């Protein structure tokens, strides 16, 4: 862990405020802004390493509030900077929550197989492959008569016969989109999207709190550099 002697900070503060008190708010403002920027960068690293990123939007949604971070004020107590995400769903990632189904079927949960990570790999760390994405799957209509078991058998046989790889199956407790693989005689099933649950709990995956903690540890070092910079501008260091 980075350590710094608090006596050095006190000495530099005293020296700067003695010779040019007006330069002091610039040193504090720079420290606040740099600490916020560090928190932003650390949060982006956490998101890249620990979360499934659909695209660069989630990572780039982590921002320093520009108005507060860039505002220069001589009143030190009014200086502030905010770090957060412009994406609403990142709040749920930080604190946890739940999502509920919005249509007839349950909440869509892509499986590890859909991402090419094998069966039941936990946790899934990749997005579904292009072919296995829900938006690219086209389901054909099948018979609605007969028992659930009969409807499922008809759907499987029809998919194997026609080469239509994706079907919806209701297995009772489990429902979802399945991929039919293998030949016509012995077709096999692989679930690509689980639609079994009406509500799904989203566990906490903090990205802001650890970033804030790590950035806070950097503040003393940033502050010393900022004080020294202002003193150098005045020719005093």
> So where are the chain's domains?
6-96+203-233, 100-201
**Distance linking the first and last C-alpha atoms of the chain:** 27
How confident is the model over 215-229, as a mean pLDDT? 95
So what's the pLDDT on residue 72? 60
Omega before 123 cis (within 30°)?
Answer: yes
So what's the pLDDT on residue 16? 93
When the pLDDT of each residue in the chain is averaged and rounded to a whole number, the result is: 88
Strand partners, 168: 177
Is the confidence at residue 60, as pLDDT, over 60? yes
pLDDT band with cut points at 50, 70 and 90 for residue 108: very high
How confident is the model over 47-64, as a mean pLDDT? 86
So what's the pLDDT on residue 111? 93
Most confident of 37-46, 103-112, 127-136, 159-168: 37-46
pLDDT band with cut points at 50, 70 and 90 for residue 122: confident
- CB-facing half-sphere around the CA of 66: CA atoms within 13 A: 1
- Contact status, residue 160 vs residue 187, Cβ threshold 8 Å: yes
Is the confidence at residue 76, as pLDDT, over 90? no
Q: What is the pTM of this model?
A: 0.72
Top pLDDT among 73 and 222 is at 222
How confident is the model over 158-186, as a mean pLDDT? 88
Top pLDDT among 103 and 195 is at 195
Residue where the block lists tokens 């403002």: 29
Largest Cα–Cα distance in the chain?
90
- CB-facing half-sphere around the CA of 133: CA atoms within 13 A: 7
> Which percentage of the chain shows pLDDT scores above 90?
57
So what's the pLDDT on residue 45? 95
Handedness of CA 16, 18, 20, 26 (dihedral sign): positive
Spatial distance between the Cα atoms of 96 and 203, rounded to a whole number of angstroms: 5
Is the confidence at residue 146, as pLDDT, over 90? no
Helix (H, G, I), strand (E, B) or coil at 81: coil
How confident is the model over 32-53, as a mean pLDDT? 92
Is the confidence at residue 190, as pLDDT, over 80? yes
Closest CA to 140 of 103, 177, 193, 113: 177
């Amino acid at each position: 862990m980075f350590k710094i002697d608090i006596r050095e900070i006190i000495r530099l503060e005293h020296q700067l405020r003695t010779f040019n008190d007006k330069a002091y708010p610039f040193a504090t403002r720079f420290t606040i802004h740099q600490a916020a920027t560090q928190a932003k960068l650390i949060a982006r690293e956490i998101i890249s390493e620990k979360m499934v990123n659909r695209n660069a939007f989630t990572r780039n949604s982590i921002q320093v509030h520009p108005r507060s971070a860039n505002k220069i004020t001589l009143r030190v107590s009014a200086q502030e900077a905010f770090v957060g995400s412009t994406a609403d769903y990142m709040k749920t990632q930080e604190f946890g929550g739940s999502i509920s189904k919005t249509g007839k079927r349950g909440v869509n949960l892509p499986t590890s197989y859909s991402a090419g990570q094998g069966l039941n790999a936990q946790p899934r760390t990749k997005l579904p492959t292009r072919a296995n994405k829900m938006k690219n799957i086209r389901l054909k209509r099948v018979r609605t008569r007969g028992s659930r078991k009969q409807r499922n058998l008809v759907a499987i046989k029809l998919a194997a016969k026609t080469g239509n790889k994706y079907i919806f199956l209701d297995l009772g407790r489990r429902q979802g989109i399945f991929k039919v693989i293998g030949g016509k005689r012995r077709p096999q099933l692989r679930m690509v999207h689980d639609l079994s649950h009406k509500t799904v709990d989203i566990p906490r995956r903090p990205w802001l709190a650890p970033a804030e903690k790590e950035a806070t540890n950097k503040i003393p070092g940033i502050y010393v550099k900022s004080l020294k910079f202002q003193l150098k501008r005045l020719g005093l260091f």
